[in-house]
Structure 1
Amino acid sequence: MGTSVTISTATDDDGEQILKLQYLCYQAEAALYDDYGIEPLTQTLDSLRAELAEGCVMVARLGREVVGSVRGTVDADGTAKIGKLIVHPRLQRHGLGGRLLAAVERRLAEERSAKRYRLFTGHRSEGNLRLYRNHGYAPVGTEQLTHRLSLVTLEKEPSAAP
């Protein structure tokens, strides 16, 4: 291939690629919880474009192809909410998720004065939980949404390095 993966800020032009990648990446989560109605699989392009305009969205590119993405916002009390961290299945387990996570954290701290980071994942999503713990996140709560799904909320302070 010869092309390395770069991480940059997403543009409105990336919307369709991000949405298609999101649909691909969340298939495993949907299967794990036997729920194909989860928001990442039903999100519209207009909704994603609104997130691009309002939030902090980073993408990983291999050439011109978007192969990863992550989104974040910061609320009034300085809590950065990070979500929809995705990496193309063929590029998983090579550190790209961690690079995207670090990039969005850095940008949220520098540009939006984040004081802490918060994210969530399903209780059965062991790979996600492992990644977040390896990057300094600690569980702070669990909320049962359905009989099949509990969401684990994890947080870290900006100074918490892995």
Structure 2
Amino acid sequence: MITRLGVDDAGELLTVQRAAYVGESMVYDQFLPPLTETLDEVRAVLARDDAVVLGLREHGRLLGAVRVMPSGEVARLCVAPDRQGDGVGTALLRAAIAAGGTWLFTGDRSLGNLRLYEKHGFTEQRREPFGDHNLVFLSR
């Protein structure tokens, strides 16, 4: 079931987020923002009235989450590593779109992410250099 997460979910959310982004850090950089974000920073986002943070739970366990920011940005889509490829990311992305998500970005080496986003109607708008790779900005 997908529900809105609250401040009390911060620790579990941060744990899933860090686990989910380890693979990305091996492709890019160990200092990716989803890995360096603190518990207090996660709590602050969860406390915002203008940000929507959605989580998918199964039998009480948080399997993944996504943020929809006031600008329409879909951010920090993350899925527990043992559940990647099971449709959790797809369900969360659809929920983010329904909650007003209209754009996002990812790295150009994240081919699976790019396929997922394009499958759900996001199209590339531009690329921006970032370190030794490019950020790909997509919108619907």
Query: 2:14 touches 2:39 (CA, 8 Å); kept in 1?
Result: yes
Query: 1:58 touches 1:69 (CA, 8 Å); kept in 2?
Result: yes
What is aligned with 1:159? none
Q: Does 1:47 align with 2:32?
A: no
Give the counterpart of 1:150 among 124, 134, 140: 134
State the superposition RMSD in angstroms: 1.1
Residue identity matched to 1:153: F
User: Once the two structures are aligned, what percentage of the paired residues are identical?
Assistant: 37
- Alpha-carbon distance in 2 for matches of 1:105, 1:48: 21
Q: Does 1:31 align with 2:31?
A: no
Give the paired residue count: 138
Query: 2:68 touches 2:99 (CA, 8 Å); kept in 1?
Result: no
What is aligned with 2:86? 94
- Alpha-carbon distance in 2 for matches of 1:49, 1:63: 23
Q: Does 1:133 align with 2:118?
A: yes
Residue identity matched to 2:52: C
Q: Does 1:15 align with 2:10?
A: yes
Q: TM-score, normalised by structure 1?
A: 0.82
What is aligned with 1:160? none
User: Which has the larger Rg?
Assistant: 1
Mind listing any 5+ residue stretches in structure 2 that lack a counterpart? none
Q: Flag as ranges the 4+ runs of structure 1 deviating above 4 A.
A: none
Query: 1:118 touches 1:153 (CA, 8 Å); kept in 2?
Result: yes
SS at match of 1:74: coil
Q: Does 1:107 align with 2:91?
A: no
Residue identity matched to 2:61: E
- Alpha-carbon distance in 2 for matches of 1:20, 1:103: 21
What is aligned with 2:107? 122
Shift of 1:98: 1.2
